[in-house]
Amino acid sequence: MKTNPTLRRTSRTLFLLFLFCALSVQLTAQNADKKINETSTKTNKGNIIRGVVYDTDGLPLIGATVRNLQNQSGTVTNNDGVFTLAGTKESVRLLISYIGKKPQEIRATTGKSIKVILEDDNSALKEVVVTGIVTKKKDTFTGSSATFSGEELKSVGVQNPIASLKTLDPSFNVLDNDLFGSDPNRLPNIEIRGKSSMLGMRDELSEDPNQPLFILDGFESSLAAIYNLDINRIASMTILKDAASTAIYGSKAANGVVVVETVKPKAGQLRLNYSGSMDVSFPDLSSYNLMNSEEKLRFEQMMGKYTSNNSIEEMISYDNIYQKRLADIQSGVDTYWLSEPLRTGINHRHSLYVDGGSEGFLFGLGVNYNGVEGVMKKSQRDVMGANIDLTYRVGRLQFTNKFTAQQTKTDNPIVSFSEYAAANPYFKKYDEEGKVSKLLDNNRIEGAVGNPLYNDSQNSRNEGKDLMLSNFLIAEYSPITDLKLRARFGLTHTNSKGDNFISPDDTRYETVNILKRGSYGHSEMEQTRYEGEATAIYAKVLKEAHRFNVALGANISEQKSLTQGYSASGFPSGDFTYPSFSNGYTEGGRPSYYESVSRSVSAYMTGGYSLLDRYLMDVSYRVNGASVFGSNKKYINTWSVGLGWNLHNEKFIRDNLRFINYFKIRGSVGNPGNMNYSSSMSLTTFRYSYAAYNYFGLSSVLSQLGNDDLKWQTTLDKNIGLDLTMFNNRLVLTLDYYHKTTDPLLIGIGLPSSAGLTSYNTNLGKQISKGFTGIAQYYIFRDFNKRLTWSVRGTIRLASSKLDGIGNALEKLNKYGQSRSTVRYYDGADPDDIWTVRSAGIDPANGRELFIKKDGTYTYDFSYDEEVIVGNTRPNAEGTIGSNFGYKGFTVGATFRYRMGAETFNNAVYSKVENIGMAGLTKNQDKRALYNRWQKPGDIAQFKNIADATNTPMSSRFVQKENTLSLESFQIGYEFDPQLAGKLGISGMRINAYMNNIFRLSTIKEERGTSYPFARSVSLALSFTL
């Protein structure tokens, strides 16, 4: 078998690096001991204090602050972590601190050398902002961001980091998928501070244009990689929200940035860390309200299904069908189809990480497995991963290499859950012999009715397999204490395959020609991405009053993607599943092939300045170039400016408002961009037409008209916020208001049929979004000596948007959507507005719907010209309310999610209560279709005449205001006493139990998870370290 040359090069490089580092372990250990001995030898008998400061990885800490608490003199450690400090007495107290580490107070004796190890401080993560390019001190940073440690993520749940972020931060919005519910093989749609782009400007290989940028260990990553990432590998996740924090990423940061840092190996003796969890998931069917067998037959009769004016023979046939079904119902037939494709999913996760090493060489080896059983049968997701982390340090030079391999296998149900929901309850699942029947019914009036259970029992399959290999190499050099030079190179290769086979015995082929029964589809995707970056970072503190930092860098990246596939039909039986047994390609079909290349290059500068830790400023500037945009507009400049004021460091606050512990006001403005679009959208492309050819060959037809002047989409992002802590750090507030203007938008304009094309990509109009987010936390009890804490926490998100400058350019799209959706695009309107004709309700006299025209008059005649805004799908307010309690090793916490004031178009009412024609009567329907429809004059009913089978247009009658409350997370845990754990040979052990999405209350009755149901889950997790 031919191997991929890229994979061979990656494997060879990794092997050589590992071998080189392994051979250097002993030499490095000797050098480390020699350095300490040299330090001791150089120590004189004067009043000089010398020492070395290390982190828990055994690496010297450069720039750690060392302060003499007696005379307040101080210094910082050099490139080797060494410091010297003059002492006034033989014995002095020193305070040693470093960003992200627990400060340590020690007593030192002059004339002697000391060794200090600073431990990681998870709470100190709140004191720094990891941007993925530089790490900044939170106190002097003017951007809007939120950082959560791995432990905080796991305090909410262990299923995946995306779900945890949704609960912890209000700006991180994971949209509910009412179609695919809890399907484990569907990636979520994510927004940070709303949408900034129009949908539809993408191909099958590009990301959602409203999706944030993901950075993993300093390198650009994908949503799939983060979604599959073992949560136990995560050290921290940081959400960068405004321009001051995101503009450094230039053309890719308009939707926000999520920075993920993985756990690093620690120095010392060999450690083994294990984390495991088991989940029990069960389907949530509380939103379904379907008829039973007696109700469904009665509803069909009232709708006139079993009457006919055509002939006596047809009348007799209808009557025979009705009498048979009535007899079955009277004999006890009332099939509950919803439970048939479902199961209780048993999911388990395991993570094992071994690390250790010396000052000069650190290693970490990890393996993990995540097996997810969906709540539908034949629904499975298995993720297996392995990672190797290596750090090698010699003198002032440090190399870090991170290699990750991850394989994902997926299985998906062949029969959609909606087919079971549509099956009529008066049909029997099994025949007289107790076997699954192929057809539920077959008569000359209705034809053949397939049994979804039979289709599920066939040898059909829908499966996929993904393999991702990534290698990140980082080299850092510190020629002087204040300067760091860094070079990074990352390579990621992904290969995906999918197979979909439908047996020829499936009931969908019952009336199909025997030579065309059965189908097979195969798809492959191969993607290779490389990224290189060089950065110089300089930081300096002058006279303890001026603190500044600056970073200069350049970045280059390329992503090559290839997707191909084919479909075949005509199989002799379900036992022969390979394409070689097919009759050929599907009718009119041929193999597909799509290739794309996207390249980008940029240079950037970012810097920060702080005066007396009171007055703050951050600036960034980036020059970006990308192949995605028009040849005349390939480059753009992005920038940001942020200002801040630490009021708590002002004398008038310290002296007069002592209850204020921390008070910072900050503001920023900048213009990050967005390039999550098709790599070929600016190019003119042609395709060969097999329908038009002559003596000279095939003709080529224009398939896309290019636009050389297609501009970048940038967003002018303004933000103002405050961070406030009061009452001895009991009350913590973070408030942000933002205003974003995306100008110009990238839009596909509809073209007349005479143009030969359906659309043309151009820049047009703008979108203005604004909103508010807030986080408040109050500690009712906070006694660290007794290890007692009790806090309450709340978050809120408010948002709105509007379009401008579009005119009638999208009129064709608006016309197309009139009978299909409630979304329209007009100037001054919100993209999330619901557009339809206002309804006055059902006329009690005749059961017909009355509509309200724009001028306020009433009419029975529906017209799309009378459409107005009748609601908005975005809630007026959304957020979480929760509480956490801890006593010694015991913790318990709960988080509820609320949504208020969202309007929704209730599709269950629209399609399962009304709009039920004779064809719709072959499916089960909502109970409201029987009980809540108008039946006789004088009835006050919400829905029209039960005997009216005509089509009902969309109107405001189907728009309902929804308020919801759900228990998103409940956690209870216990951390064993270290002494007790030590008796078991364990340095630390913790056990947690979780409940996620355990209930949901709503003011409306709407079907959720129509193709795949939502799920509730209960989890038990255990972690320990040997």
Q: What is the pLDDT of residues 984-1010, one digit of tens each?
A: 778 788 999 999 999 999 999 999 999
Determine the average pLDDT of the residues in 762-776. 91
Give the largest Cα separation in the chain, rounded. 120
Question: Among 198, 313, 253, which Cα is nearest to 824's?
Answer: 198
Per-residue pLDDT band for 21 (boundaries 50, 70, 90) equals: very low
In three-state form (DSSP H/G/I as H, E/B as E, the rest C), the secondary structure along 70-116 is: CCCCEEECCCCCEEEEECCCCEEEEEEECCCECCEEEEEECCCEEEE
Average pLDDT over residues 887-914: 94
Taking only the tens place, the pLDDT of each residue in 196-230 is 776 554 444 456 778 899 999 999 999 999 999 99
Which residue, among 963, 961, 972, has the nearest Cα to 895 in the 3D structure? Answer: 972
Report d(CA 726, CA 255) in Å as an integer. Answer: 32
- Residue range(s) occupied by CATH 2.60.40.1120 in the chain: 43-120
Closest Cα to residue 889, out of 972, 977, 971, 970?
977
Among 335-344, 476-485, 851-860, the range scoring the smallest mean pLDDT is 476-485
Between 132 and 263, the more confident residue is 263
DSSP assignment of 109-167: ETTSEEEEEEPB-GGGGGGEEE-SS-EEEGGG--S-EEEEEHHHHHTT-SS-HHHHHHH
HSE, side-chain direction, 13 A CA sphere, residue 147:
22
What are the C-alpha distances in Å from 383 to residues 161, 367, 467? 15, 11, 10
Give the pLDDT confidence score for residue 204 in this predicted structure.
46
Distance (Å, whole) CA 630 – CA 181: 39
Query: What whole-number distance in Å separates Cα of residue 234 and Cα of residue 303?
Result: 58
CB contact set of 690 (below 8 Å; sequence gap of 6+):
698
464 band by pLDDT with thresholds 50, 70 and 90: very high
Name which of 670, 758, 574 is nearest 245 in CA terms.
670
CA dist., res. 746 & res. 715, Å (int): 12
For domain 43-120, the question of CATH label 2.60.40.1120 is answered with: yes
Residue 100 has a pLDDT of: 65
State the average pLDDT over residues 334-347.
96
Query: Residue 530 is encoded by which pair of tokens?
Result: 């490389």
CA distance 51 to 35: 11
> DSSP letter string over 733-755?
EEEEEEEEEE-SPEEEEE--GGG
Q: CA 297, CA 326: separation in Å to the nearest integer? A: 8
pLDDT at residue 526 is higher than 70:
yes
Determine contact, residues 387/404, Cβ cutoff 8 Å.
yes
With beta carbons less than 8 A apart as the criterion, state whether 701 and 715 touch. no
More confident residue, 502 or 21: 502
Q: What are phi and psi of 915, to 5 degrees?
A: 55, 40
More confident residue, 680 or 197: 197
The residues facing 97 across adjacent strands are 65
Write out pLDDT tens, residues 44-100.
445 788 888 887 766 778 778 888 877 777 788 887 788 888 766 677 888 888 866
CA angle 729–730–732, rounded 5-degree value: 75
Residue 6: predicted pLDDT: 46
Interatomic CA distance for residues 530 and 490, integer angstroms: 6
Question: Could you tell me which residues come within 8 angstroms of residue 558 by beta carbon, excluding any fewer than 6 positions away?
Answer: 529, 530, 597, 598, 599, 600
Q: Please give the residue that has the higher pLDDT: either 443 or 505.
A: 505
Cis-peptide, bond into residue 744, ω within 30° of zero: yes
Q: Does residue 506 have a pLDDT over 70?
A: yes
- pLDDT band, very low/low/confident/very high, at 677 (cuts 50, 70, 90): low
Give the model confidence (pLDDT) of 279-292 as tens digits. 999 999 999 999 99
pLDDT at 231 over 80: yes
In 10 A of CB 270, how many CB atoms? 10
When the pLDDT of each residue in the chain is averaged and rounded to a whole number, the result is 87
Q: Residue 546 corresponds to which tokens in the numbers above? A: 């001026």
pTM of the shown model = 0.85
Q: How far is 140 from 643, CA to CA, in rounded Å? A: 10
Distance CA 616, CA 664 (A): 10
Residue 250: what residue type? Answer: G
Give Rg (Cα) of the chain.
Answer: 33
Start-end ranges of CATH 2.170.130.10 in the chain?
123-266
Model pLDDT, residue 188: 92
Enumerate the β-bridge partners of residue 804. Answer: 766
DSSP state string for 415-437: S-HHHHHHS-TTS-SB-TTSSBP
Tell me the percentage of the chain whose pLDDT exceeds 70.
Answer: 90
Reduced to 3 states, what is the DSSP secondary structure of residue 458?
coil
Which residues does residue 731 pair with via DSSP β-bridges, in sequence order? 726, 778
pLDDT number for residue 660: 93
CATH pick for 123-266 out of 3.40.50.920, 2.170.130.10, 2.60.40.420, 2.60.40.1220:
2.170.130.10
pLDDT score, position 203: 46
Reduced to 3 states (helix: H, G, I; strand: E, B; else coil), residue 766 is: strand
Give the single-character DSSP code of 941.
-
Residue 25 has pLDDT above 90, yes or no: no
* CA distance linking residue 818 with residue 812, whole number of Å: 10
- Looking at residue 542, its pLDDT comes to 87
Tell me: pLDDT of 682 over 70.
Answer: no
3-state DSSP: the chain helix, strand, coil percent, rounded to 5?
15, 50, 35
Q: What residues contact 38, with CB distance under 8 A and at least 6 apart?
A: none
Convert the pLDDT of each residue in 938-950 to its tens digit. 999 999 999 888 8
- CA atoms of 174 and 165, how far apart (whole Å): 9
pLDDT given for residue 636 in this prediction: 86
Q: What is the pLDDT of residue 145?
A: 93
Distance from C-alpha of 954 to C-alpha of 975, rounded to nearest angstrom: 56
Most confident of 169-173, 914-918, 979-983: 169-173
Low-confidence winner among 7-11, 115-119, 529-533 (lowest mean pLDDT) = 7-11
